[in-house]
């Protein structure tokens, strides 16, 4: 690995852009190669076998793009494919997921005891978050709820309107999610509606997402291994497996400039 190499980030769609934006803010000199697997979104209702296949193929593609870091910016893929991707990548790059940094953040905030989790079906059914949290905080009361409508809602651009507010209210009104100390957004799409979620709880609940947590851990790793990029003119590339106008719109919103969106079918032989 060399300092000049890029940070590779992937997700099923626009959600991982919330993590990419955090990486850009914390590590402004680093070049980013982002791959959104929009042809297969959402990952939350796919089989574990398919998610592992997609994740391995995308990781190989990002290695071909000369990436020193592979960041799985998807909670479902982090839960179901992290070990597989890590084994596949080996010593060629360092692999990060978006779950472990959040668990460490929750552990460090030792006042949090009732912890609610919302995510896709794949993430919630994997039971990864509750298991990891209870390993670190045995006394924690952990509740979780699958919220499968949120990802397609966000991907279709229904944000800050009556439709999204109604869906959010329907999910969060369920009794298991009442009065938590913290709510973990176990999907990287959900920070796009974070303010709506915080408003539902009257801004009294700590709403936690993975963006800054994982970005800071990547920064610490790069510093420790002398891999921080000295380049002050980083280059960011955005690729998708199927073109969607919403992806381009949100990417330009986060990165504050016009982007060239590349469409790439990495499964075509």
Catalytic positions, please? Answer: 74, 187
List C-alpha distances in Å: 28 to 17, 72, 204, 229, 234.
Answer: 15, 19, 32, 9, 8
List the beta bridge partners of residue 97. Answer: 72
Q: What is the 3-state secondary structure (H, E, C) of the chain?
A: CCCCCEEEEEECCCCHHHHHHHHHHHCCCCCEEEEECCCCCCHHHCCHHHHHHHHHHHHHHHHHCCEEEEEECCHHHHHHHHHHHHHHHCCCCEEEECCHHHHHHHHHCCCCCEEEEEECHHHHHHCHHHHHHHHHCCCCEEEEEECCCHHHHHHCCCCCCHHHHHHHHHHHCCHHHCCCCEEEEECCCHHHHHHHHHHHCCCCCEEECCHHHHHHHHHHHHHHCCCCCCCCCCCEEEEECCCCHHHHHHHHHHHCCCCCEEECCCCCC
- CA nearest neighbour of 150 among 116, 118, 195: 118
Number of residues that this document lists for the chain: 269
């Amino acid at each position: 690995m060399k300092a000049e190499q890029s940070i590779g980030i992937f997700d099923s769609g626009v959600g991982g852009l919330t993590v990419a934006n955090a990486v850009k803010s914390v590590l402004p000199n680093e070049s980013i190669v982002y791959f959104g697997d929009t042809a297969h979104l959402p990952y939350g209702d796919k089989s574990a076998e398919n998610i592992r296949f997609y994740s391995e193929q995308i990781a190989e593609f990002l290695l071909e793009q000369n990436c020193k870091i592979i960041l799985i910016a998807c909670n479902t893929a982090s839960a179901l494919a992290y070990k597989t991707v890590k084994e596949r990548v080996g010593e060629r790059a360092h692999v990060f997921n978006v779950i472990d940094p959040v668990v460490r953040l929750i552990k460090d905030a030792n006042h949090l005891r009732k912890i609610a989790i919302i995510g896709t079906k794949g993430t919630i059914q994997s039971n990864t978050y509750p298991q990891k949290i209870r390993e670190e905080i045995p006394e924690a009361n952990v509740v979780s709820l699958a919220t499968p409508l949120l990802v397609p809602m966000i991907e279709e651009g229904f944000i800050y309107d009556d439709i999204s507010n109604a869906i959010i209210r329907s999910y969060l009104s369920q009794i298991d999610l009442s009065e938590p100390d913290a709510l973990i957004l176990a999907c990287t799409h959900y920070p796009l509606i974070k303010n709506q979620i915080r408003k539902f709880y009257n801004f009294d609940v700590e709403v936690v997402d993975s963006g800054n947590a994982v970005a800071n851990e990547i920064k610490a790793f790069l510093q420790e291994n002398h891999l921080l990029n000295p380049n002050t003119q980083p280059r960011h590339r955005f690729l998708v497996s199927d073109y969607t106008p919403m992806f381009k719109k949100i990417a330009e919103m986060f990165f504050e400039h016009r982007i060239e969106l590349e469409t790439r079918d990495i499964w075509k032989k």
